[in-house]
Structure 1
Amino acid sequence: MLDLTLIPPDGVWVPSPTFFLPSPTEGTYPDPTQPARIQRAVDVETQVAHSIFLARSGVTGIVLLGSTGEAIHLTRSERSALVSAVRRGLQDAGFPDYPLMAGVLTNGLEEALEWLDDYARAGVQWGLVLAPGYFGASVGQEGLVKWYTAVADRSPLPILVYNYPGVTNGVTVLPETYRVLADHPKIVGCKMSHGNVSHHIQVALDPAIHHDKFRVFSGLSSQLGPVVLFGAAGVIDGLPAIFPKTVVRLMQLAEKANTKGLKDEERTELQRLQYAVSLAEEFVMRYGIIGIKEAVFRVVGFGNLEGGRLPIPGELPEGAWDKVKMLFLQAIELTEASL
C-alpha cells in the first residue's frame, strides 16, 4: 500500500530566501570571544517569522535552503540550526508537521547524504536534490540515473529531482530519465526550473510513470496554469514568497478547472491571475535572489536591502524597483490585498 506520508502534497511551495542580519554599523565590533565573521550572520528570528507568515497565507509548504535560500553560502551548522528553528517555530505557531523541504546543493555523493541526514534530524520531510552539474557536458543521463539512485538508496528522506540547468552548467534531466528515476520508491517527484513546458507535460502525462507517487513541480509560477492543466502538481517558486495568496488562488482555480470545471467568471479570474503572475515572474527571473529579497522586504516587510551573502550582496539598481512596481507589481499587489 502506498505510504502517502512520503509524497509531497500538490500545491504552491515557496523556496524561501535565507535572511541575514544587517552588516555591523561603523564603530561596532564583533564579540571578541568569537571567531571573526566574514559573512553576515543568519537572521533566524526573521526566517521563522517569514515561514509562519507563509503558512498563514495558505501555501502548501516551504522549501528551505534551495537556490533562492543560498544553501551553498551557509555552513553545515548554520543549515541545521536554521531548519531546526523553523520547524520549532512552525510547531509553536500551531502548524505541527507543516510540509518542509530542504535543498541539497552539492555534487559529492557522501556530502549529499550528510545534508540529508542533517535535514532528517532537523525535522524536514523531503530533500530537494540538485542535479550534479559541476562537470557539465561530461554528465550524461546514465550518470544522472546512477547518482540519484545511489543517493535515494541511502537517504533517510524521500527526495525530489531538482533540475535547474542555469546553475548546473546546462545539465538537463530528460523525460526518459525521469521515467527511470520515478520507479525508485524514494524518488517522489521533481522540480523543473527551466522554460521547457514540453518536458513538464511529457513527464506529468507519461503513462509509464506512477503519478500517484511521483509529483511534477514547475519552478516558475508563469507556467502554473498551463502545466497544472496537464497533470503537474504545482509550483516551487519564489514569487509566492512575496504574493502568496495570489499564487495560491491561481493554483486553486487551475485545479478546479481540471476536476469540476469553471464558471465563466472563474475562467476570467484564472486568466487574469495567470497574466498578472506571468508579468510579475519577469521580475523574479530578471533580478533573481536580490530581487526576491528586496521585494520581500518592500512588500511584506521581512529582511533588509543588503541582498545575499558574498558574492551577491547589494540591492536593485537605482530606480529599478519603482519601474517594475509601476509596470506590473502594483497590479498584483492590489490582487493580493483583495484576497
Structure 2
Amino acid sequence: MSPPPPGIYVPAVVFLDQNEELDEENIKKHILRLAQGGITGILVQGSNGEAQFLSHEERKRAIQLTREILDRNGFKDRLVIAGTGGHSTKETIKLTKDAADAGASHALVLTPATWPPQMTKPNIIRFFHTVADTSPIPIMIYNFPVVTAGIDLDSDLISTLAKHPNIVGVKLSCGNIGKLQRIASSVSPSEFATFPGKADVFLQGLISGSAGLIGALPNVLPRLHVQLLKLYKEGKLDEAVKLQALLGQSDWELGKLGSIAGIKAIVSEHFSYGEPHVRGPLSSLDSERLANIGGLAEAIQLEKQIKE
C-alpha cells in the first residue's frame, strides 16, 4: 500500500461525441499524447473528467480503456489513478472497487458535500477510514473546496488521516502552499505523497516538499511540465522560475476559459484531435474565445517545439 511515485499526473479530460457519448478514438489519441509527453500517470475521472456527469458503467469503462491504451502502446509503467468520489460512503466504496477491477492502482476520493453542515471532522475521518478499510487499492484524499461546497480540509485533519495505512496521499486543489509544506514536512514521503492540484504552484510545491503535480494544465502542455521538473532536479532554478511564470500565466488563462471546455477546445484547435463537446449542464466553449489566450498561446508553441 504505497503512494504513487513522484512525478506529473494528468486529470485527463474525457472526450465525447456530439451525442455526449464516450468518444473512445479521441480518448485514445489524448492518452497517447500525454504518455508520449513523458507524464508519470493519468488520473481518470478527476474533476476534469466530468466524473459526476457519467454513469457508474461509463466511469468504469473510462478507467479500463485508459489502462488498455497504455498497456497496448508500450506504457505499462504509467499509472492509472481513478477518481472515485461519491455522494455517500456506500457509493464511494462501490466506485473504488469498480476502479480496482478496471485496472486503477490508486483511488482519489473527494469529501462528500451534499450536506456540508453534517461534514464535521469526526464524520470526515469516519468516511475516509471506512473507505480505506474496504478498498482493495490505496486511496488518496482529494481536497478541492470549489467542488465540495467550500469544505476545505486543514493540515491537521489531513495529517491525521495520513496515519491510516491505506491512505497514501493527497491532492491539494486549494492551492495552499503553506498547508502543503506543513503536511509534506510532517509525514514520510515513502508512505504519504503530497501533490498540489494547480500548475500555478508547481515549482513552489516542489520547493516545499511536494511529490510533483496532479493538475489540469498538463492536458495541454505535458512536455513543458516534464521540462520544469527536469530543470528543478538539475538545480537550474533560474530557468525553472522563468518557465513556472509562463505555466502560471497559462494556468490562469485556462481557468478563465472554464477548464474542462477550455481544455477540449484548445486541444481540438491546436493539436488536431477531439471535439469540444461536454456533457450538460456544462456548455461548450465558443471558439471565438480562443483568439486571445495570452501566455497560453506562447506556451503551446513551446510545447510543440520540444522534441521527444
Q: Give the TM-score, by structure 1 length.
A: 0.86
- The answer for unaligned runs of 5 or more in structure 1 is 24-39, 257-261
2:176 is aligned with 1:212: no
In structure 2, the residue matched to 1:92 is 72
Tell me the amino acid that sits aligned with residue 178 of structure 1: I
In structure 2, the residue matched to 1:153 is 133
* 1:229–1:255 CA contact under 8 A, matched in 2: no
In structure 1, the residue matched to 2:34 is 54
Q: Secondary structure at the match of 1:203?
A: helix
In structure 2, the residue matched to 1:184 is 164
2:301 is aligned with 1:305: no
- The answer for unaligned runs of 5 or more in structure 2 is none
* 2:48–2:260 CA contact under 8 A, matched in 1: yes
Q: Which has the higher contact order (CA 8 A, sep 6+)?
A: 2
Tell me the CA shift for residue 97 of structure 1: 4.4
CA distance in 2, matches of 1:213, 1:332: 35
Tell me the CA shift for residue 63 of structure 1: 0.3
Stretch deviating more after TM superposition (137-146 or 276-285): 137-146
Q: Give the TM-score, by structure 2 length.
A: 0.95
CA distance in 2, matches of 1:67, 1:129: 11
CA distance in 2, matches of 1:123, 1:186: 18
* 1:182–1:210 CA contact under 8 A, matched in 2: no
Q: What is the 5 A alignment of 1:160-309?
A: 160-206=140-186, 209-256=187-234, 262=235, 266-286=236-256, 287-306=258-277, 308-309=278-279
In structure 1, the residue matched to 2:8 is 12
Tell me the amino acid that sits aligned with residue 189 of structure 1: G
Q: Secondary structure at the match of 1:110?
A: helix
The percent of aligned pairs where both chains have the same amino acid is: 30
Tell me the amino acid that sits aligned with residue 20 of structure 1: L
CA distance in 2, matches of 1:154, 1:161: 15
2:297 is aligned with 1:335: no
Tell me the CA shift for residue 255 of structure 1: 3.4
Tell me the amino acid that sits aligned with residue 18 of structure 1: V
In structure 2, the residue matched to 1:314 is 284
2:118 is aligned with 1:118: no
CA distance in 2, matches of 1:328, 1:204: 31
* 1:136–1:171 CA contact under 8 A, matched in 2: yes
Stretch deviating more after TM superposition (272-281 or 89-98): 89-98
Q: Secondary structure at the match of 2:152?
A: coil
RMSD: 1.4
Tell me the amino acid that sits aligned with residue 177 of structure 2: V
In structure 2, the residue matched to 1:102 is 82
* 1:283–1:291 CA contact under 8 A, matched in 2: no
Tell me the CA shift for residue 173 of structure 1: 0.9
CA distance in 2, matches of 1:54, 1:334: 16
CA distance in 2, matches of 1:72, 1:267: 39
Alpha-carbon displacement from aligned partner over 1:166-212 (angstroms, at most 9, x marks no partner): 01111111101111111111101000111322111111112xx2222
* 1:228–1:255 CA contact under 8 A, matched in 2: no
Q: Secondary structure at the match of 1:190?
A: strand
Tell me the amino acid that sits aligned with residue 176 of structure 1: D
Tell me the amino acid that sits aligned with residue 271 of structure 2: V
In structure 2, the residue matched to 1:32 is none
Q: Secondary structure at the match of 2:225?
A: helix
* 1:7–1:214 CA contact under 8 A, matched in 2: yes
Q: Secondary structure at the match of 1:319?
A: helix
Alpha-carbon displacement from aligned partner over 1:67-112 (angstroms, at most 9, x marks no partner): 1000111111111222212211211101124200011121211111
